[in-house]
Structure 1
């Protein structure tokens, strides 16, 4: 058995391995090189040169090998692919030590940045090639595109989606709202583009088409290319961020109205800023999330945020057109997600992308004040109460007892259980210029809100 010095485990160009023609992919050339190599270090060095010449396995920062697949995408099973590539070429020179040393040599020779993988800017991989989002040109996917995923949909420039377009007109009679969601889906196709720094929130009562719309977009992207995490989980918990890495789209239906406690995370998620990711049993590491986010809710989540930056991160679209249970088409999802219809939906999304690029902004985009008002109006009972019946007034005071009694009445009239008094105080005091204090009245001292009054309340 051959004995090797551990100090020589990493081979280099001084090992005496012939490098003439080392860029060739001819297996016979490399098989002969392996025959000429007289120890495992030299075999590993030669094997790594052959893998480099092939160009279908690449080392990535973090000590990972990625492999190029027949479908044009790169996957994380590079070690298994290395075994499959080397087995036939090594033959009698095969051994686990050679495999391990070859992998070590590849990792030493130079690593690709993780961000080099994903999708070329301004393009999206589809079932039949790589599509230019701006001009609709289609070409074959190449290894150097470093594509990690592709839509399970074929591009056909002549395809249309008449059923989907008709449904969209019924869900969203307003053309501006339809254009806005169309532009966002187009934006989601451009994986590297986070320039607009927004997430989409569809809000409205049940049976208004929100979930069906998201089902169609989910089918367009494919289950393997989407996640389903709530904004509360992503913002409040530490584990969610890692799941976004290299995922183009996060779709979550039917958000509950629980609070977003870390509103700053919302800004980072929308803008692609570096974020710390953590997986159980692993060290913290940094990712640049490029995932686009689409949510639907009957009531939007609660939040204590008052600055414009939070509300600037949201595109809100109202779905108000309810369909009765008797009129509901139970097979609509299936009709809207046929391969032919989805090819048309892809063209619909391209229209939105190209319009967004021409305009430089989303259609009917709201400012932060409008978004804040709409958020409160469509929030949980406290947010709705504040939106409709609380107004800032620098010279006014309102007792906490009076304010909470009014809120209790409001909640009961809307058929929901009132939240605790402390939560009402926390929400009201996020309003600009509002604070709490004690004041003396004829009946004695009472806790009050300063800088605020009840309005539109008998």
Structure 2
């Protein structure tokens, strides 16, 4: 941030801080570092407008996604996004693929680009700890290698990721220091061998993930010096990343590659089985209604078909159903035989136990 802002100075959010020079990204104007512009993170090198194209890096990406330019474009935009203090997209990157598939190399190059002093390396389990957020203070990027979303504390991890990626303020407890309440301007990059299984019925967290899927493994064929070779191209990779940032800025949002549409759906189903049930077995819309007991019976049958052992109670199912279907209402009309619970705004696709007309 500028300590003494005036109209002639570019917005700090559009400035890339180098070792001795700063770059105003939209205009390409370079100006010397100044004590009047405060930042907690900067690159370890300066921007070079004449840097050659990163040929080895581009060949590496083409090897990973030889028929998927959309995935390369998304990675390019993510690299550029991580260079700035902007977190307004409220997204996290999830790299999924087999071992020795390129995930670690991509993460190491990104860390080199951002600067080691600006990168945190938490684990999913450490994020749930009482002081798990303290290492994120002052960092602009968190790289979670070998991300494993499981264990008793997973709900705490989900809550914290929702707060951080959603730009919400939260209280950070610090060991031997007082706690602080602030927004953490940090972007998360997760590396995983498989899609995570999260318990989050509303789908809010799954909607925060951008997914890049790697399908090749180079196990037994590793180039152990590849990271160093790619790091030699950092000035060119920086120019490449800035092109991605400009494209993202013009479009205004990230776009998931078409190649991961099924992965996005799988992630949603893993995180919210009730959401998958609604998509496969229900019709949602105004005027639709269904008896709660009939919907729960259909849910139990669906779980049996899918090999899911735990169906929960009708109460927990109703809670998850309301989180999945915005605007769903529960009523208890007086019908023949007494009062029964009905859902308004949803019916079973086969018409059992409901209709698209009010039952009363």
Q: TM-score, normalised by structure 1?
A: 0.57
| 2:195 counterpart of 1:306 | no
Larger relative contact order (CA 8 Å, sep ≥ 6): 2
Q: Superposed, which structure 2 residues align to 1:327-338 within 5 Å?
A: 327-338=221-232
Distance 2:225 2:188 in 1: 26
Distance 2:224 2:50 in 1: 29
Q: 1:274 aligns with which of 169, 176, 194?
A: 169
Q: Superposed, which structure 2 residues align to 1:46-445 within 5 Å?
A: 120-159=12-51, 160-172=53-65, 173-191=67-85, 193-234=86-127, 236-258=128-150, 260-262=154-156, 263-320=158-215, 322-338=216-232, 341-364=233-256, 373-376=265-268, 391-392=280-281, 395=294, 397=297, 407=307, 421-422=309-310, 425=312, 429=317, 432=321
Distance 1:324 1:244 in 2: 32
Number of residue equivalences: 296
Cα shift readout 1:312-356 (whole Å, capped 9, x = no counterpart): 211111111x13434332322221112xx0111111110111111
The alignment partner of 1:349 has SS state of helix
Distance 2:28 2:119 in 1: 24
The alignment partner of 2:238 has SS state of helix
Q: TM-score, normalised by structure 2?
A: 0.71
The alignment partner of 2:139 has SS state of coil
Alignment check: 8 A CA contact 1:266 1:313 kept = no
* Correspondence for 1:446: none
Distance 2:100 2:348 in 1: 37
Distance 1:227 1:202 in 2: 17
Q: Superposed, which structure 2 residues align to 1:1-80 within 5 Å?
A: none
The alignment partner of 1:240 has SS state of coil
Shift of 1:432: 3.0
Alignment check: 8 A CA contact 1:300 1:375 kept = yes
* Correspondence for 1:29: none
Q: CA RMSD in A?
A: 3.6
Alignment check: 8 A CA contact 1:124 1:130 kept = yes
Cα shift readout 1:109-164 (whole Å, capped 9, x = no counterpart): xx99xxxxxx9211121124112222222211100111223111332112221111
Bigger CA radius of gyration: 1
